[in-house]
Amino acid sequence: MAIEFTLNGKPVSVDVPSDALLLWVLREDFRLTGTKYGCGRGQCGSCTVHIDGQARFSCRSPMSAIEGKSVTTIEGLSPDGSHPLQKAWISGQVPQCGYCQSGQIMRAAALLQENSSPTHEEIVTHMDPVLCRCGTYNRILRAIESVIEQG
């Protein structure tokens, strides 16, 4: 079944079963490997992408629900790494293993899209669904707050 949607700003069509999961279509069909497989159960957030501007777990998103929607991956957030969050992650030396970082950045980008000046508590609450195995939560929070401060 051909499913049409917008991927990183470009219209695409992919012939996959309607119950295929977006995570695997991104990684296998489009070779966009920045979106990570963590748990496959929507419990870790490593697979976070934007679907119509909202942070969503791609491991829990069947392609039938993607038809006609807009999907943005970490590769589409800023192809050259110039997004303010990406810069803040680098300057703050946020990642250790880095596995969850694309999910963390995509989740943070969705927050700042909705609310350009969230409180510390709002950031913590919004970022809660994405787990960091290395425990760099303080660095993550500082990076997000530095973007907010820079306006």
Domain boundaries, the chain: 2-76, 84-149
Q: What pLDDT is recorded for position 43?
A: 92
Q: What pLDDT is recorded for position 99?
A: 87
* Averaged pLDDT score across all residues of the chain: 95
The two domains 2-76 and 84-149 share their CATH topology (first three levels equal): no
- For 49-53, the CB contacts below 8 A with 24+ separation are 49/22, 49/73, 49/74, 49/106, 50/106, 50/109, 50/110, 51/22, 53/110, 53/113
Q: How confident is the model at residue 1 (pLDDT cuts 50, 70, 90)?
A: confident
> Could you tell me which CATH number the domain at 2-76 has?
3.10.20.30
Tell me if 90 sits within 8 A of 64, measured CB to CB.
no
Per-residue model confidence as pLDDT tens digits over 77-126: 998 989 999 999 999 999 888 889 999 999 999 999 999 999 999 999 99
Q: Is the pLDDT of residue 76 over 90?
A: yes
Q: Is the pLDDT of residue 139 over 90?
A: yes
Per-residue model confidence as pLDDT tens digits over 39-57: 999 999 999 999 999 999 9
Q: What pLDDT is recorded for position 15?
A: 97
> Could you tell me which CATH number the domain at 84-149 has?
1.10.150.120
Per-residue model confidence as pLDDT tens digits over 54-75: 999 999 999 999 999 999 999 9
Q: Could you tell me which residues are beta bridge partners of residue 49? A: 56
